[in-house]
Structure 1
Amino acid sequence: MTERKRGPWTILTERLGYENPWMKVREFDVLRPDGQPGLYGVVEPKNVAIGILPVFENGDTMLVGQYRFALDAWSWELPEGGGAEDVPPLDAAKRELEEETGLKASDWCELSEFDVSNSITNERAYSYIAWGLSEGDPDREGTEADMQMRRLPLREALEMAISGSIRDGFTLIMLMAAVEKARRGALDPGLSRSILSGLDEA
């Protein structure tokens, strides 16, 4: 391949290092911004990341817990998963919420869009708030057979995030973004009242 620029970087060669049904890893021989030779690897997931903050009318939310293989640790999180790039992210969010928790929502709004770990991956994340909730039965994948659900006040979930009991970055972003948007009046008024209810309780 011919050399090409990517911002202040120069790509000399590119090769596919690894591929499976969920991701690719590309390796690049480069000239760094300082002009010196270097090596760069980029993880390219084949799905976008999807996250959902469900909010019940009384201010509760729903966490899901599962054992994360990559971390070798249990993790409490908001519902999240992957969505095909050719499927609208909101459609993927509706499917993911129902699969993991059995919940359906009559109302949805965009919460945040962000880059997951931009030094090593090009993964993009989309998150939504779901409210007007009705309960049903989950329909989980085999990899989620150990998953547990925990309904709790959103205030308690936020405290878990602040204390470090919740370490999942996607969940931290969703919780903080929702509370701040509610405080700024950037959400539906009824939804904001549900999110903010009880936050200032001892």
Structure 2
Amino acid sequence: MSQKPDWLAPHGRPWTRGEVRCVYDNPWIRVTEETALAPTGQPALYGVVSFKNRALAVLPLHDDGSVVLVGQQRLPLGDYSWEIPEGGGPMAEDPLDGAKRELLEETGLAASEWREVLRMQLSNSVTDEVAVGFLALGLAQAAEPEGDGTEDLAVVRVPFREALDAAMAGHIQDSLTVAMLLRGYHMAREGLLPDALARGMIG
């Protein structure tokens, strides 16, 4: 990992945390209301959504530069979403183990090579959810896709550049998918992937 540049150093005072009250709790999330002092000294009432699992994302790349995407209906925005394989893993679990499980469950694929390539904070003004992104290479079909009881999944294999262009055009809007496609493109351009794979991705 490269050294952090000086301009990334924080400035000012941190938030001062106060009394915390749980207002909602289920097996996946906890919502709290907290009295706090802002870095400016101004009192604030803050709502925070805490996730009980770590978000995991997998960018599965075949040797020819194609990528595997999963399509499904999503409830919160009431729309259909094309995404890379994603899911949640317990905080105590090795993120890589969870990523391998999500890839297998959603696509039936197993990978011979794994690289952690991205860490993200998702909507950090209202939630503490964090995500880890992995690149999966050396793909082979190991099983049939098998989502959980609420998932009706479609699986497609498309040229990486088509998926990236769809994301840049706004047809793919899932944040982890957009970020991981851009990360994959950055790696291909910066010589961080095998030459043949990078050429197949960039097109």
Pairing partner for 1:193 from 181, 196, 199: 196
Q: SS at 2:68's partner residue?
A: strand
Work out whether 1:8 is the aligned partner of 2:11: no
Structure 1 stretches lacking a partner, 5+ long: 1-6
Contact 1:9–1:33 (CA<8 Å) still a contact in 2?
A: yes
Q: Name the TM-score, length of structure 2 as normaliser.
A: 0.89
Aligned-partner residue type, residue 144 of structure 2: D
1:4 is aligned to none
Gaps of 5+ in 2: 1-12
Distance 1:132 1:170 in 2: 22
Write out per-residue CA displacement over residues 50-89 of structure 1, whole angstroms, 9 at most, x where no aligned residue. Answer: 0000011111111100111111110000000001111100
Following the alignment from structure 1 to structure 2, what is the Cα–Cα distance between the partners of residues 55 and 67? 23
Task: Name the % identity.
Answer: 47
SS of match in other structure, 2:64: coil
Task: Tell me the residue number matched to 1:73.
Answer: 79
Q: Which residue of 2 aligns with 1:100?
A: 106
2:157 is equivalent to residue 151 of structure 1: yes
Task: Give the superposition deviation at 1:34.
Answer: 2.6
User: Residues 126 and 198 (structure 1 numbering): CA distance in 2 closer, same or farther, change over 3 Å?
Assistant: closer
One-letter amino acid of the counterpart of residue 40, structure 1: Y
- Residue of structure 1 in register with 2:61 after alignment: 55
Question: Which secondary structure state, in structure 2, belongs to the residue aligned with residue 30 of structure 1?
Answer: strand
Moved segments of 4+, more than 4 Å: none
1:137 aligns with 2:144: yes
Which residue in 2 is equivalent to 1:82? 88
Change in Cα spacing, 1:84 to 1:12, as seen in structure 2 (3 Å) is closer
- Once the 2 structures are TM-superposed, how far is the Cα of residue 199 of structure 1 from its aligned partner? 2.3
The CA deviation at 1:198 is 5.3
SS at match of 2:202: coil
Deviating more after overlay: 18-27 vs 7-16 = 7-16
CA offset at residue 195 of structure 1?
3.8
* C-alpha distance in 1 between matches for 2:189 and 2:107: 27
Q: Tell me if the contact between 1:77 and 1:171 (Cα under 8 Å) persists in the aligned partners.
A: yes
Give the corresponding residue for 2:9.
none
Quick check: 1:36 aligned with 2:42? yes
In structure 2, C-alpha distance between the alignment counterparts of 1:198 and 1:34, rounded to whole Å: 47
Deviation at 1:12, TM superposition (A): 3.1
Q: 1:166 aligns with which of 172, 177, 195?
A: 172
